[in-house]
Amino acid sequence: MSAAPLRNESYSWIYRQLVTNPNDAVGAFAYILYKQEKIAFIEAIKAAQQREPTPDELHTFHTQACTQPRIDSYLRNAEQLTSEFLSAGLKKRLEDFEEDIRESVLSQKIDAISNELKARKSGKQWFADIAASLIVSIAAILVIGALLVGYQAISRFNTFLEQVIPARAAPPIENTPASPD
């Protein structure tokens, strides 16, 4: 009859003290820390004494593990672990997000350049560029030709004027001595 109370006494309700609800990640990490400590306790007894811990030894461990300072310690360590875990996860997620954005922006730029090159390579674009160049070239030839024809016309007009209008003779320069005034 004493075995049943011992079994109930040896059972630890620490999970309920550490984990307050199903979404309590800090409490779950705290419980993991408790379990790691319990396993280390059991392995230490096995290594030192080559046997399993007695019910009294387990009861002593549970009694010590369930004290408020120990529970607070599990929770503090769990908060630190949770923070580190979340920081590492967020850092990785942020790096992945930044890489996705870089790839997306780079992909958009490459697509834009590719589309622009395709548009420039089309036959219509080549024909439009050739036609524009040809028009500019013809306009330049016409302007140069008009200037040349205009210059030749002015030259013929000057020659005609020189033939029609006799050149005036310049009055002779008198060599008079300068007066000694």
Average pLDDT value over all residues in the chain? 82
- How many angstroms separate the CA atoms of 57 and 77, rounded? 25
- How many angstroms separate the CA atoms of 65 and 61, rounded? 6
Give me the pLDDT at residue 3, please.
34
What pTM, to 2 d.p., does this model score? 0.48
101 vs 21, higher pLDDT: 21
Element (H, E) at 169: none
Range 110-131 average pLDDT: 76
Tokens in use for 140? 């330049």
